[in-house]
């Protein structure tokens, strides 16, 4: 991001310097206004919009044959996770998911608004009492991923954290069939 911002800054600085210098014979300002004043920003904004729509579409929860659904319920100061494939079983502060498969997390809250955020897997989604938000996450590799409640929800919210544990296929099957980990 720093490199991109620096390149844009230098490009704009050069354009500004070229626009400020006097040209002999009083050249046309039409090129600056129409070409670099309107066409360039509109082209850049259109490209950014197309990129944003493409990335956003990929993050939407679509039907997927290997999709797993879990439920995340926040409360002060813990997270409780339930598993569609293992009814009646819940974990606290550790969300188990299969690695390499999309996981739809149904996020809600038991008391106040909390924020569900696993920076390495997905963006932030609010947990709102009486409402279920859906967020798709996918861990590409097995391992532990840190999650936080990224919403002020009262004193103590800074330590309101959880772990997402991505399991390989064999460990995921063992988790679904075995005793509590």
Domain assignments of the chain as residue spans, ordered by start: 2-59, 68-177
- Average pLDDT of the chain to the nearest whole number: 86
* Residue 168 reports pLDDT greater than 90: yes
Distance CA 165, CA 95 (A): 6
**pLDDT tens sequence across 135-145:** 999 999 999 99
Cβ-based neighbours of 26, under 8 Å, separated by 6 or more: none
**pLDDT tens sequence across 60-112:** 766 778 889 999 999 988 999 999 999 999 999 999 999 999 999 999 999 99
Q: How many separate helices (H) and strands (E) can be counted in the chain?
A: 4, 10
- The CATH number of 68-177 is 2.60.40.420
Closest Cα partner for 145 from 105, 113, 87? 105
Determine the distance from the C-alpha atom of residue 170 to the mean position of all C-alpha atoms in its chain, rounded to a whole number.
27
- The first and second tokens of residue 6, run together, are 């620096």
* Residue 31 reports pLDDT greater than 70: no
Give kind and range of the element (H or E) at residue 48: helix 40-59
pTM > 0.75: yes or no = no
Question: How much is the CA Rg of the chain, to the nearest whole Å?
Answer: 24
Distance CA 163, CA 167 (A): 12
């Amino acid at each position: 991001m720093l490199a991109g911002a620096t390149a844009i800054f230098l490009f704009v600085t050069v354009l500004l310097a070229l626009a400020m210098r006097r040209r002999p014979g009083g050249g046309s300002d039409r090129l600056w206004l129409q070409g670099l004043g309107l066409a360039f920003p509109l082209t850049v904004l259109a490209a950014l919009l197309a990129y944003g729509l493409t990335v956003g579409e990929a993050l939407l929860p679509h039907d997927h044959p290997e999709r797993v659904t879990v439920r995340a319920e926040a409360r002060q100061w813990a997270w409780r996770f339930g598993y569609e494939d293992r009814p009646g079983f819940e974990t606290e502060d550790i969300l188990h998911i299969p690695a390499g498969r999309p996981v739809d997390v149904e996020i809600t809250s038991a008391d106040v608004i909390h924020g569900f955020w696993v920076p390495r897997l997905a963006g932030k989604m609010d947990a709102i009492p009486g409402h279920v938000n859906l967020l798709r996450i996918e861990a590409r590799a097995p391992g532990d991923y840190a999650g936080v409640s990224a919403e002020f929800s009262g004193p103590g919210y800074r330590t309101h954290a959880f772990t997402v544990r991505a399991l390989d296929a064999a460990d995921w099957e063992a988790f679904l069939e075995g005793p509590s980990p």
